[in-house]
Each structure stands twice: as C-alpha cells, then as structure tokens.
Structure 1
Amino acid sequence: MHQTALFIRHIPALYFAFANCVGLVLALLRGNRALVELYGLPSNIFEVPETWPVWQAGQGRIILLGLMMHYFYWRGQYAECDALLMGVAFLGFNDFLVTWDHGNLVWAWCRIVSSIAFASTGYFGLTQDRDRARKARTP
C-alpha cells in the first residue's frame, strides 16, 4: 500500500517533467511548426514561419523547466519539485490568456483548470509528502 501511495504522490512531478520535454523531441522530429500546433492555436498563426523563432525561444524556456524537474526529482529533492509545480499556476494563467484571445476556448479552460490542479499539488507538498515530513520532525 505504501509503495502505491508513494507512486501516486509523484505523478504530478513526473508528468510535469516529461510533458515539458515533449517540445524538445517534437521540434527535432517535426520542426518548429509543431511547437505552435501543440499550443492549441489556429492554423493562421502556426503557418507563418516568422512566428516560429518566437515559439522556439519560449519552448526552450519550458523545456528548461522540464529538465530542472527531472534533475530535482531524480536527486530526491522533492521540495524543489513542489516549488516548480507551484509555478505552473502562472504558466497556466498565461496560456489561458493567450489561447482565450487567439485560440480554442475549450483548450484555454483546459489549460487553466489543469494548471491550478498541478499548482495545488505543489502548494500542498504532495511530492515531498509534507505531512510525513512534519510528523518525522515532531518528537
């Protein structure tokens, strides 16, 4: 039972780590256009090659967050993983505004709701099991 609970607590951090590295593989396999398509914007935006460098630069920053999550997770630095998860709230709000103005409204709501869910797991210390750490410090 304990191993199952341990695995469930780590799903948000692992999902964040792998999902934010998708752009790295996708850009290599399908090109920069795929990065813009993945975001949920209409074709009149992703078919303009002049926009691709901007998206590639932004995706590079997102990939860095995914790589940092991998680094912290595999080193057992779970408090740092939770801190990165809390930052997803800002990213989700930003994505919501962009897709609300220029993309699919369903995709916009999906981004904000899932971002709040992931950020809350970080806030409540799910990866590091804040309650267990608190009990261990209590004499």
Structure 2
Amino acid sequence: MFDQFELRHTPALFAATAMTFGGLWTFFDPRGAMLEFGLPERVASAPAAATVMHLTNARTTSLGLCMYALYFRGRFAACDTVLAVLGAYAGLVDSWVVWREGNPRKALFRLVSSGLLSAAGVAGWTADNTGAAY
C-alpha cells in the first residue's frame, strides 16, 4: 500500500492525516478540539459552537479522505493542488479567526505551518519535486 511512498510525500500525507483524524476529534471532545484549535473558552463551552464544529469538521474529514484517495491512486499532482489551496485559503482564514479571538501565538503557528504546507503543494513536491502543482 505504501510501496509508492517517498519522503517528499510527507507534507501531503501529514495534511491528509491531520484533516482526517483531526476532523473526527470534535465528535469525541468538541470543547477540547476547539481549545486546541485556538478558540477561547467562551466559544469552546458554547453548545451551539459544538454543533457548528461537527458540521465543518465533517467536511474537513472528507477532504482528508479525498487526499488519501488521490494519493493511493497515484494522483500526486492533484494532492499538491489540494494541499496548495487548502494550506493557503483555510490556513489564512483559520489564522485570522484565531487571531481575532485573542490567541496570537496559535494564530501565528497556524499561519506558518499552513503556509509551509501550501508552499510544498505549490512547489509540486508530492508529484515530482520539479514544478508547480498546477
């Protein structure tokens, strides 16, 4: 199953794993998942916030599973495209929201880490390490 694995595939597989299993976390501990995400206690303790997190994280898990499906089908350029777009857009939005909610350290971490993952996707690391993903 992993016979096609190369070290340069690590960013895509890391993102797929984080999205797949991280998205499931809210079903077991919504408050803890929101606090780890960087949201404040007042948000994490609100029952309505848990409902919204369940809905959004179902989509996050779906995207992670799609990344795995693309990877195991050998669609490495598609993995890079998803990585580039998600890392850039979702990373910016996540960072902005966490910053506005008063957690600048977590926001900066999210911005830098998602930026690095997006850069790996733009560089086409998963596909061939020689060109852009799109």
Q: Where on the TM-score scale, by shorter chain, does this alignment land: which range? A: 0.7 to 0.9
Instruction: Please list every run of 5 or more consecutive structure 2 residues that lacks an aligned counterpart in the other structure.
Output: none
Decide whether the 8 Å contact of 1:40 with 1:104 is kept in 2.
yes
Corresponding residue number in structure 2 for 1:92: 91
Decide whether the 8 Å contact of 2:23 with 2:60 is kept in 1.
no
**C-alpha separation in 2, matches of 1:103 and 1:112:** 15
**C-alpha separation in 1, matches of 2:22 and 2:10:** 20
The CA deviation string for residues 20-60 of structure 1, in whole angstroms up to 9 with x for no partner, is 012344234x2332332231111111011121111111111
Corresponding residue number in structure 2 for 1:136: none
Query: 1:44 aligns to what SS in structure 2?
Result: helix
**Structure 1 runs (4+) greater than 4 angstroms displaced:** none
Q: Comparing both structures, which one devotes a greater share of its residues to helix? A: 1
Between the aligned residues of both structures, percent identity stands at 33
Instruction: Please list every run of 5 or more consecutive structure 1 residues that lacks an aligned counterpart in the other structure.
Output: 1-5, 133-139
**C-alpha separation in 1, matches of 2:52 and 2:99:** 19
**C-alpha separation in 1, matches of 2:88 and 2:115:** 5
Q: Which structure has the bigger radius of gyration?
A: 1
TM-score (norm 2): 0.86
Corresponding residue number in structure 2 for 1:137: none
Q: Over aligned residue pairs, what C-alpha RMSD do you find?
A: 1.7
TM-score (norm 1): 0.83
The CA deviation string for residues 91-132 of structure 1, in whole angstroms up to 9 with x for no partner, is 110011100000410100111111111111111110001429
Give the superposition deviation at 1:9. 0.6
Letter in 2 for 1:107: K
